[in-house]
Structure 1
C-alpha cells in the first residue's frame, strides 16, 4: 500500500512541477506537443515492446480486445440516451465524455511501475479502445445526433490506425507472440532504456496540458459530465472485478481501465463537434486528477 501511495504522489509531484514550470513561463503548454511526439513515437512503443515480449497469446487477450470495444459502445450509447433531449453539440459532448480511455499517455505509465505484467492485458484492451475512439465512436455519435462530421467508415478507420506507432507496435508484438518469437535480452535492453522514461515524460506532459480556468456555466456542465462518467466507471469497475471469472491481475487491470481518464482523441472530437476548447481542456485536466485519485484508491483497497 505504501508503495502505491508513494508512486501516486510522485506522479502528482511531476504533474504539479510541470504545471508550475508553465505558470512561471519556463515552459509553455505548446511544449507538451514535443513531449507528446517523443512519447507516442518512442517511449510508449518501447514500453509496449517490453511489456509484450515473451507473452503467451491466450484467449483472454482477445476477450480484452472485445471488452475494449464493447465498453466503449455501451458507454457512448448510454451518454447519448442521458442527454437525448439536448441539442446536437451537447449530446455529442456527453457521448464523447463517457466513452474512450486515455491508456497510452496515462494508464500504461501509471501501471508500468506497479504491474508491468498487466501491460499485455491493458494493451489488448487498448486495441479495441483505439478502434472506437479513432472512428467507431464518431460514427455512432453521427448516427444518434443526425450529424455528418465523420468521413470515415470502419475499414478506413482500421487502416488509419496503422498511422499510430503504438497501435502498430501492438500489432507487431501480438504477431510475434502468436509465432512464439521472443526478443533476446541484448535487444530488449535497448527498448528498456527508452521505456524507462515513459512514465516521467507522460506525467510531465499532463502537467503542461493541465488547464484549470473555466467560467461558472461551463463548470456546472463539466461537473455533470464527470459525475456521470465516474458513476458509470465505478459501476463498470465493480462488475469487472466481482462478476468476471478472470485471473486477479486481469480483473485489476480492468478496474484501472474503467477508472481511466477521458482519452485525448475524445477531447479533440469534443471540440470538433461544437464544444469550446476551454471546456474540453478543463474537462480533460480534471478527469486526469480524478482518475489518479480513484485508481490509487482502487489499488489501495484491492491490494
Structure 2
C-alpha cells in the first residue's frame, strides 16, 4: 500500500511541479507540444517495445481489441442518447467526453509501475480505442447530431492510425509475437534507456497542459459531464471484472482502463466540433486528477 501511495504521490508531484513552473514563467504551455513529440516518437514506443517483447499471443488479445472498439461505440452512443435534447455542440461535447481513454500518455506509465505485464493488455485494448479516437467517434457523433465537420473516410482513419508511431509499434510488436520472434537483450538494453523516461515526461507534459481555471457558469456543465463519465466508468469496470472470462490480471487492468482520463484526441475533437476550449481543457485536466485518485484507490484494493 505504501508503495502505491508513494508512486501516486510522485506522479501528482511531477504534474503539479510542471504546473508551478509554468505558472512561474519557466515553462509555457507550448513546451508541452515538444514533450508530446518526444513521448509519441521516442519514449512511448520504447515502453511498448519493452512491454511487448517476448509475449505469447492468445485469443484474449484479439478480444481486447474488439473490447476497446465496442466500449467506445457503446459509451459514445449512450452519450448521444442522454444529450438528445441538447444542441449539437453540447451533445457532441458529452459524446466525446464520455468515451475514449487516455492510455498511452497516462494509463500505461501509471499502471506499468505496478503490473509490468500490463503493457500488452493495455496495447491491445488501445488498438480498438485508437480506431474510435482517430475517426470512429467523430463519425458516430456526426451521425447522431446531424452536424457534419468532415466527410467520413476509412482510408483517412487508417492513414492517421499508421502515422502514429505508438500504433505502428503496437502492430510491429504484435506481429513479432505472432511469429514468436523476440528482440535480443543488447537491443532491449538500449530501448530501456528511452522507455525509462516515459513516465516522468508524460506526467510533466500533463502538468504543462493542466488548466484549473474556469468560469463559474461553465462549472456545472463540467461537473455533470464528469459525473456521467465516471458513473458509466463504474458500470463498465464492474462488467469488466465480474462478467468477462479473462485471467485476473487482465480483468484488473481493464478495471483501471475503465477509469482512465479523457483521451487527448477526445478533447481535440470536441473543440473541433465547436465546444468551448476552456471547458474542454478543464474537463481534460479534471479527469486526469480524478482518475489518478480513483485508480490509486483501486490499486490499493487490488494489491
Give the TM-score band, short-chain normalised.
Answer: over 0.9
Deviation at 1:301, TM superposition (A): 1.1
The Cα shift of 1:150 comes to 3.0
Note the alpha carbon deviations across 1:227-281, whole angstroms, 9 max, x for none: 0000000111111111211111100110010000000000001101111111111
Distance 2:278 2:302 in 1: 36
- Tell me what 1:143 maps to: 143
Aligned to 2:278: 278
Aligned position for 1:61: 61
Tell me how far 1:154 sits from its aligned partner. Answer: 2.6
Q: 3-state SS of the aligned residue for 2:142?
A: helix
**What is the CA-CA distance between 1:12 and the residue it aligns to?**
0.3
Write the distance in 2 (CA, Å) between the matches of 1:156 and 1:31.
28
Cα deviation digits, residues 148-206 of structure 1 (max 9, x gap): 11333234312321000000000000111111110010101111110000000000000
Output the CA distance in 2 between the equivalents of 1:153 and 1:248: 38
Deviations 1:7-57 (A, max 9, x none): 100000000100000111111111111000000000000000000000111
Structure 1: give runs of 5+ residues left out of the alignment.
none
What is aligned with 1:181? Answer: 181
Q: 2:22: which partner in 1?
A: 22
Q: Secondary structure at the match of 1:158?
A: helix
**2:4 aligned partner:** 4
Q: RMSD value over aligned CA atoms?
A: 0.8
TM-score by length of 1: 0.99
Q: CA deviation at 1:218?
A: 1.0
- How far apart in 1 are the matches of 2:150 and 2:124? 25
Whole-angstrom CA distance in 1 between matches of 2:61 and 2:256: 16
* Partner residue, 1:291: 291
Distance 1:279 1:114 in 2: 33
1:187-266 map, 5 Å = 187-266=187-266
What are the superposed Cα offsets for residues 55-103 of structure 1, whole Å, 9 maximum, x if unpaired? 1111000111011000000000000000000000000001000110001
Match of 2:175, SS state, is helix
> Distance in 2 between the 1:138 and 1:5 partners?
37
**Given the alignment of the two structures, is residue 86 of structure 1 paired with residue 58 of structure 2, yes or no?**
no
Q: Distance in 2 between matches of 1:253 and 1:4?
A: 15
Question: Tell me, what secondary structure is at the counterpart of 2:213?
Answer: coil
What CA distance in whole angstroms lies between the structure 2 residues aligned with 1:159 and 1:298? 36
**Alpha-carbon separation, structure 1, partners of 2:286 and 2:222:** 9
Bigger drift between 280-289 and 238-247 goes to: 238-247
Aligned length: 303
CA contact (8 A) 1:138 1:150 kept: no
